[in-house]
């Protein structure tokens, strides 16, 4: 007998906007989705990817059973093999021979358990995440300036701003609902201006009052120039600087040294000087300015410096801690922020504490009751993503557990990463999908539950914690990631610390740790102790809320630093001296074109889900190479023909798209295609593994390639 339809509220699993979704279930099937009208991230809106979520479900193509050495086995056999082989590697080569590589697709509860097991109980600091490829430079920039990885703004600030500056962000394609909100706000407020700073003319330019098509990698010149211009035109907020910051003199003299006039900056950035000065005037004249930046800034060998060059200008103008003001980093993935909260980066310990945070190691040790363990909680950071795979290639790391991500596609130096995986003695992969480029490297394959099946929380780009809710049973024998980790922990003999029976218990522990022995401490912004002790029913019903959430701020916190006090030792924000650096991947006679990589509107990462919805494939059906008409003509290429890109790291083939949106001398390729879809359409094969020295984020947007006809 048919059952009545049931509605369930959850969160979209794709981008960092973190839209609320209302799902309709009928006879055990998820038959429709729409935007959750009450969710503060989207108020009922969804982008095209979000509206197709129900079309990407189903058992076909899913990983259904555990496998060991290519043979299907029972869960008992798979879990025992995982524990025994991890233990064998540890015993033979030491605790630091074991590593984990996680994902911004995991839920916070999965992340928490993985971080606790690897750092706390296996004693290895080598746990990193694909979020390293997405926002690590933004994190490092915030920490240097504010003393904490703390995004100051809310989405409302975009709507309340008089000027919104979008840097290295194709918001229209990559964070579409935020773009829609900004577009509506601009229509409602004719005085609002939008400036787009991006080497490519993207769809985001549709709402731009001013577009600056800068040379890739020249952002630091542009913002150094802005700081110098503000000083030269008496547009610094001297009261704010005096009361709440330090470092202006150094930052300003360095900025003046390399960007001392509009003409010099215009030349370095390859933009029109008049338009540049218009931007400077607009920025300096408004108090309510949001600068929103994304992977175009972060994915650079000097990404952290670029972030700080932006933050410098906000601090210098007092444009922070106010409605409609602040430097706002937008993350790519749905839970890049949640991963940071639990310590899911190799340089973090737990709950936003770093290894060098005074007393942090002892505090975490006491909380996890690992004081008497050998090995103890690590005392120094582990390898960041690129370093991690280098260490595997060197034979230093001999066991790797990968969860919910595909480094065989997404890492730079793709062929090197594949060589490392091939020689790693133990590769364990937790995965939803039956056919990925990574699985042939796996010794143990563990089928994991996915969106609509798993239960937990994610945190979006504005620090808002939302529930993802399980509505459907996992297919086949798939299990939740946190459960898999706990079962392995039991077989490693540390099950007492991992006896969770439901994600709410994990969330509760995570919330307690965030405020442990720390009540009232303003030095640690990440505090969600106000969400501890919820119990299962309240956790199930948890409404979206922005951290910090404490007893004093029980309804969350929309905006940070309103009182001008920062999380540094003296409470002052720091302006940093920034010396611009060119990309590490040099152009040459062999590789004369600058390569840019990124997402397309209707696909998500390696397309394991979005490619299942035929209508999403209509937008861009195959890998492509977008380039300027003059570059196409010089290489004898025509629109829709086939071409090959060659780089020092590898090759890529795709359909030619000739476009004036591309600057001359530069090409763009999408990041989504894998060997499972098309041979030689992987952008990761073209990028060398150069990284930012502070954040470890790879330089994915400034490769060097040559193009030829195929």
Question: Least distance in Å: CB of 623 to ligand SF4?
Answer: 21
- From 13-21, 125-133, 305-313, 382-390, span contacting ligand SF4 (CB under 6 A): 13-21
Question: Would you say 18 or 414 has its CB closer to ligand SF4?
Answer: 18
Helix (H, G, I), strand (E, B) or coil at 654: strand
15 or 350: CB nearest ligand SF4? 15
Residues 157-186 that bind ligand SF4 (CB under 6 A): 175-177
Kindly tell me which of 346 and 471 has the beta carbon lying closer to ligand SF4.
471
DSSP-derived secondary structure for 6-61: EEEEEE-SSSTT--EEEEEEETTEEEEEEE-TT-TTTTT---HHHHTGGGG-SSTT
Of the two residues 18 and 40, which places its CB atom closer to ligand SF4 in the complex?
A: 18
Residue number with the smallest Cβ distance to ligand SF4: 50
Query: Minimum Å distance from CB 54 to ligand SF4?
Result: 13
- State the burial class of residue 135 (Cβ atoms within 10 Å of its Cβ: 0-12, 13-18, 19+): buried
Name which of residues 27 to 86 contact ligand SF4 (CB under 6 A). Answer: 42, 46-47, 49-50
Q: Which of residues 400-439 bind ligand SF4 (CB under 6 A)?
A: none
- Cα–Cα nearest to 635, from 670, 660, 671, 667: 667
Residue 311 main-chain phi, psi, to 5 deg:
-60, -40
139 contact partners, CB below 8 Å, separation of at least 6? 149, 340, 345, 695
From the list 14, 112, 279, 355, which residue makes contact with ligand SF4 (rule: CB under 6 A)?
14
C-beta atoms surrounding 529 within 10 Å: 18
Q: What angle do CA 311, 351, 498 make, to 5 degrees?
A: 155
Which residue, 46 or 98, is less far from ligand SF4 as judged by CB?
46
Stretch that binds ligand SF4, among 7-15, 122-130, 375-383, 663-671 (CB under 6 A): 7-15
**Residue whose pair of structure tokens reads 């979704």 in the numeric block:** 21
Question: Which listed residue (9, 10, 12, 236) binds ligand SF4 by CB under 6 A?
Answer: 12
For the CB of residue 12, give the shortest distance to ligand SF4 in the complex, in Å.
Answer: 3
Contact 667, 390 (CB under 8 A): no
CB of residue 481 to ligand SF4, shortest distance in Å: 21
CB of 175 to ligand SF4, least distance (A): 6
- Contacts of 682 by beta carbon, 8 Å cutoff, 6+ apart: 409, 414, 650, 652, 673, 674, 675
Residue of 321, 341, 317, 293 whose CA lies nearest to 153: 321
Shortest distance, position 588 Cβ to ligand SF4, whole Å = 38
The residue from 18, 40, 324, 327 that contacts ligand SF4 (CB under 6 A) is: 18
CA pair distance 467, 417, nearest whole angstrom? 34
Nearer to ligand SF4, 43 or 677 (CB): 43
For the four alpha carbons of 218, 686, 689 and 400, in that order, the dihedral sign comes to positive
Q: Establish if 292 lies at the interface with ligand SF4 (CB under 6 A).
A: no
Closest by CA position to 548, among listed 379, 351, 702, 695: 351
> Interface mask (CB under 6 A) for ligand SF4, residues 477-506, using x and -?
------------------------------
Cβ proximity to ligand SF4: between 49 and 605 the closer is: 49
Q: How far is the CB of 45 from ligand SF4 (least distance, A)?
A: 7
* Cα–Cα distance for residue pair 703/413, rounded to 1 Å: 11
The least CB distance from residue 687 to ligand SF4, in Å, is: 24
Please name the residues in contact with 23: beta carbons below 8 A apart, sequence gap of 6 or more.
7, 8, 9, 10, 30, 32, 33, 53, 54, 452, 471
- Tell me the number of residues near ligand SF4 by CB under 6 A: 14
Decide whether 18 or 447 has the Cβ nearer to ligand SF4: 18
Length of the chain: 710
> Binding segment for ligand SF4 among 17-25, 59-67, 425-433, 624-632 (CB under 6 A)?
17-25
Of 9-17, 137-145, 184-192, 335-343, which segment contacts ligand SF4 by CB under 6 A?
9-17
Of 171 and 386, CB closest to ligand SF4:
171
Nearer to ligand SF4, 312 or 452 (CB): 452
Question: Comparing C-alpha atoms, which of 521, 134, 95, 115 is closest to residue 349?
Answer: 115
Instruction: Determine the 3-state secondary structure of 656 from DSSP.
Output: strand
CB of 156 to ligand SF4, least distance (A): 16
H or E element that contains 468: strand 464-468
Question: Nearer to ligand SF4 by C-beta: 304 or 410?
Answer: 410
Crossing angle for the helix pair 273-285 and 219-232, to the nearest 10 degrees: 60
In whole angstroms, how close is the CB of 23 to ligand SF4 at the nearest point?
Answer: 13
Contacting residue, 9, 17, 111, 486, with ligand SF4 by CB under 6 A: 17
Which residue ranges make up the site for ligand SF4 (CB under 6 A)?
Answer: 12, 14-15, 17-19, 42, 46-47, 49-50, 175-177
């Amino acid at each position: 007998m048919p059952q009545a339809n049931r509605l369930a509220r959850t969160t979209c699993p794709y981008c960092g906007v973190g839209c609320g979704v209302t799902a309709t279930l009928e006879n055990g099937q998820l038959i429709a989705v729409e935007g959750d009208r009450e969710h503060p991230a989207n108020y009922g809106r969804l982008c095209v990817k979000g509206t197709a979520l129900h079309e990407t479900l189903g058992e076909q193509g899913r990983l259904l059973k555990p496998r060991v050495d290519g043979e299907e086995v029972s869960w008992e056999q798979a879990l025992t093999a995982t524990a025994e082989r991890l233990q064998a590697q540890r015993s033979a080569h030491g605790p630091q021979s074991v590593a984990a590589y996680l994902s911004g697709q995991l839920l916070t509860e999965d992340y928490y358990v993985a971080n606790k097991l690897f750092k706390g109980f296996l004693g290895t600091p080598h746990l990193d995440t694909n979020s390293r490829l997405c926002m690590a430079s933004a994190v490092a920039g915030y920490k240097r300036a504010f003393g904490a990885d703390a995004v100051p703004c809310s989405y409302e600030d975009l709507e309340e701003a008089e000027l919104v500056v979008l840097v290295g962000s194709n918001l229209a394609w990559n964070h579409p609902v935020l773009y829609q909100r900004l577009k509506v706000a601009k229509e409602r407020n004719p005085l609002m201006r939008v400036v787009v700073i991006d080497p490519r003319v993207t769809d985001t330019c549709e709402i731009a009052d001013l577009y600056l098509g800068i040379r890739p990698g020249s952002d630091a010149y542009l913002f150094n120039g802005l700081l110098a211009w503000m000083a030269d035109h008496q547009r610094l907020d001297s009261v704010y600087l005096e009361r709440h910051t330090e470092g202006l003199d150094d930052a300003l003299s360095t900025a003046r040294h390399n960007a001392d006039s509009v003409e010099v900056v215009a030349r370095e950035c390859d933009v029109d000087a008049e338009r540049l000065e218009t931007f400077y005037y607009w920025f300096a004249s408004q108090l309510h300015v949001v600068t929103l930046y994304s992977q175009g800034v972060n994915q650079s060998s000097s990404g952290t410096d670029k972030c700080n060059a932006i933050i410098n200008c906000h601090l210098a103008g007092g444009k922070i801690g106010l409605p409609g003001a602040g430097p706002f980093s937008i993350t790519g993935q749905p839970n890049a922020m949640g991963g940071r909260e639990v310590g899911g980066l190799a340089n973090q310990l737990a709950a936003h504490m770093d290894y060098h945070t005074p007393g942090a190691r002892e505090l975490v040790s006491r909380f996890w009751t690992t004081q008497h363990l050998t090995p103890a909680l690590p005392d120094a950071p582990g390898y960041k993503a690129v370093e991690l795979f280098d260490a595997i290639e060197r034979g230093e790391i001999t066991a790797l557990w990968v969860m919910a991500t595909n480094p065989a596609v997404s890492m730079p130096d793709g062929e090197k990463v594949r060589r490392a995986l091939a020689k790693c003695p133990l590769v364990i992969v937790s995965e939803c999908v039956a056919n990925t480029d990574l699985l042939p490297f796996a010794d143990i394959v563990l089928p994991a539950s996915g969106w609509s099946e798993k239960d937990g929380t994610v945190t979006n780009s504005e620090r808002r914690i939302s529930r993802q809710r399980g509505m459907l049973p996992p297919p086949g024998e798939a299990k939740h990631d946190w459960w898999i980790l706990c079962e392995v922990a039991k077989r490693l003999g540390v099950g007492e610390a991992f006896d969770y029976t439901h994600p709410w218990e994990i969330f509760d522990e995570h919330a307690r740790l965030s405020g442990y022995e720390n009540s009232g401490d303003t030095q640690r912004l990440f505090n969600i102790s106000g969400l501890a002790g919820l119990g299962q029913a309240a956790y199930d019903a948890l409404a979206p809320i922005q951290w910090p959430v404490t007893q004093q701020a029980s309804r969350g916190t929309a905006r940070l630093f309103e009182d001008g006090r920062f999380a540094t030792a003296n409470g002052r924000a720091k302006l940093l001296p920034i010396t611009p650096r060119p990309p590490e991947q040099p152009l040459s006679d062999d590789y004369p074109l600058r390569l840019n990589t990124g997402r397309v509107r209707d696909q998500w990462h390696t397309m394991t889900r979005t490619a299942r919805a035929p209508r999403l494939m209509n937008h861009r059906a195959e890998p492509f190479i977008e380039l300027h008409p003059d570059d196409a003509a010089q290489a004898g290429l025509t629109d829709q023909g086939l071409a090959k890109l060659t780089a020092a790291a590898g090759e890529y083939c795709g359909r030619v798209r000739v476009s004036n949106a591309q600057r001359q001398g530069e090409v763009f390729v999408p990041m989504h295609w894998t060997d499972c879809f098309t041979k030689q359409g992987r952008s990761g094969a073209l990028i060398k593994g150069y990284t930012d020295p502070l954040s470890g984020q790879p330089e994915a947007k400034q490769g060097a390639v040559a193009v030829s006809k195929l």
